[in-house]
Structure 1
Amino acid sequence: AYYHSNKYGALGYLDHSNVADKMIEKHKKLIDNFNTEVKRNKELLFVKHHIDNYDGKFPLWVAVELFTLGNTSQFYSQMKTADKKVIARSISYITQTECTYSQLESCLRCLTTLRNKCAHFGRIYYSRFKWFPSLPYEEEYKAYARGRNFIYLYPYLYIMKVLYPSPESWNGVVTELAALIEEYSNYIDINCIGFPDNWEEQLSRE
């Protein structure tokens, strides 16, 4: 939102000319979905404020508060390649892991899938995911430690490791996950979620 608003203006995200040509129709649909969210959330104070005082115009840094993770992923995928590259470089700097724009686009799509499964109480144990995450080579061979036939939970967790900005906080997540797997060790086969034997070491951040 910060980068896009600085380049195209507060309302530039509404202009179809600011996205890739082949994405214009998808962008129109995204904006239609956003307008639906505005109507659905019109009683929220910040939404009501912009409707009453700014003729229903939402600058992007406000609009993203109504974006789902899926909307965020879609918006990034619809950007012009040059813009996606700038944002990918920024993410790479923050995470200290080099990530191309196409890899970031893939990761966001995969995380949206995982988020939706969790939000709707979908099964993730022994559940094969549709999308193959694209990651930097030195990370990808670790994410696919059991091979590309094992697109279960592990590669998706590996995306989270790569994109997570704080190593200390992330390692706390790994510790909690290890405790959970230990607690249910009689019922969980880590092979069924694509985990390698040394998964704790692989998932931990330095």
Structure 2
Amino acid sequence: MLKTPLDIPQQLAQFQRHGILVENKTAALSILERVSYYRLSGYALEFRTSTHSSHYTPETTIEQIYDRYRFDEDLRHILRKYLEIAEIFYRTQIANTIALRKCSQPPHEQHYDVANYYRKNYFSDLMVQLRKQLHYYKDSLFIQHHMDKYHGRMPLWVLVEVMSLSTLSKYYSCLYRSDQEAVAAPLNTSARTLRNHLHALSVLRNKCAHAARLYNTVFSPKVILPTKTLRSTPSLQTDTLFAYLIMLAYRLPNVTIQQGYKKELISLLDAYRGKVAFDKIGLPNATETELLMILQNA
């Protein structure tokens, strides 16, 4: 039997029974009217008396929990903007490079040929999924044009526009290593690192798109970061939110955009200094000053 549903005052009472302090009941009820009990409880995990307990450490307040939620909410707003920039950039880099390498000769549709891919079965499955995804774009004029004139075939630079970031990551992983390197080299990175980062970007984007919790979360895959970063920050764990934030900085298209991104992150961290635990985003042994310096130098 599942749990009995609770109304808003009952949800607040449940928090209180588990040891959460509520000084302003009206404000607390307002929080629960906007953010569900279940969602908020994920931000309270660090205050549990033990892993398997539903009770919280003394003096834990609902405001402390809500601060962590708001940090995540504000962070997702920043990330959505810069993840979109990264997504469009890598669609462009992959499409331009592979189209010129594979499709310069007639009939210019060699990107549909499984022989041009190292992971052939994976590519075939990916194309089946992509054809299904095209259904969601059936009302778009550019899709209608290619359906009517080219029997649904389209140049690679058109095809990538209907790929999600996750699909784009999988498409890149299908390519021969030489083609992957051709995309990665002008970006001053390796094929291995770019494969890893595209996967990680898709994970981060999906979490942001679905308003999933970022704070106090273990991320997979672990991200590949430069040796200099790891040596200068031995406490940095590569399966944490902070590692993913640094990874995104490396994957933005130019210095100006990178600086804008880091400025917004630093401003956010400064706004929440003392309100959230920075060790829960991935730097257990770093001071706040060190954390900001790591970001600035990324």
Deviates more, 1:195-204 or 1:39-48: 195-204
Query: TM-score scaled to structure 1, two decimals?
Result: 0.87
8 Å CA contact 1:167, 1:205 repeated in 2: no
Q: Which residue of structure 2 lines up, in the alignment, with residue 202 of structure 1?
A: 294
Superposed, which structure 2 residues align to 1:12-161 within 5 Å?
Answer: 12-20=110-118, 23-92=119-188, 99-142=189-232, 145-148=234-237, 151-161=239-249
Q: Could you tell me the percent identity over the aligned residues?
A: 26
Where 1:204 maps in the other structure, the secondary structure is: helix
Task: Please give the per-residue CA displacement for 1:60-90, whole angstroms capped at 9, x wherever unaligned.
Answer: 0100100110111111111001111111102
Q: Which residue of structure 2 lines up, in the alignment, with residue 8 of structure 1?
A: 102
Is 1:183 the counterpart of 2:281 in the alignment?
no
8 Å CA contact 1:174, 1:200 repeated in 2: no
Structure 1 unaligned spans of 5+: 93-98
Distance of 2:273 and 2:225 partners within structure 1: 30
Deviation at 1:140, TM superposition (A): 4.0
Q: CA RMSD in A?
A: 1.9
Which runs of structure 1 show a deviation greater than 3 angstroms over 4 or more consecutive aligned residues? 139-142
Deviates more, 1:113-122 or 1:7-16: 7-16
The one-letter code matched in structure 2 to 1:194 is G
8 Å CA contact 2:99, 2:156 repeated in 1: yes
Distance of 2:270 and 2:292 partners within structure 1: 12
Where 1:188 maps in the other structure, the secondary structure is: coil
Q: Which residue of structure 2 lines up, in the alignment, with residue 170 of structure 1?
A: 258
Deviation at 1:139, TM superposition (A): 3.6
Structure 2 unaligned spans of 5+: 1-94
Where 2:235 maps in the other structure, the secondary structure is: coil
Structure whose alpha-carbon radius of gyration is higher: 2
The one-letter code matched in structure 2 to 1:90 is P
